Chains A and B, each alone.
Chain A
Amino acid sequence: MELVDRYLHAVKFWLPRNQKDDIIAELSEDLRSQIEDKESELGHKLTDAEIEPILKRCGSPMAVAGRYLPQQSLIGPALFPIYSVIIRSLFLYFLVPWMLVWMGIAIFSPDFRADHPGAALFASLKPWWLACTYSLFFNTLAFALLDRSQMRSHVVNDWNPRSLPAVRDRNVISRGGTIFELTVVVATLATWIQLDAFRRTFHIFGTTLTLSSRWPFFFWALVVVSLAGIALTCLNLSNPRWTRFTASLRLGIDFYSFALFYWLFRSDMLQSLSASDVSFADASNFVRSFDHWMASSAIWVLIIGAIVVFFDVRRILRVGPTA
Chain B
Amino acid sequence: MTPGSPAAEALLEVRGLTRRFGALAAVDGLDFAVRRGELFGLVGPDGAGKTTTLRMLAGVLRPTAGDALLGGVSVARDPERVKPRLAYMAQRFGLYADLTVRENLDFYADLYRVPRAERAARYERLFRFSSLGPFQGRLAGRLSGGMKQKLGLSCALVHQPELLLLDEPTFGVDPISRRDLWLIVHEMVAQGVTVVVSTAYMDEAERFDRLAFLHRGRVLALDTPAALQGGLAGEILALRAPDPRAALAAARALPEVRRAAQFGDRVHVTVGAAERDAPAVRAGLAAAGVAALALEPVAPSLEDVFIERIAAAEPAPGPAAGGAS
A and B bind: no
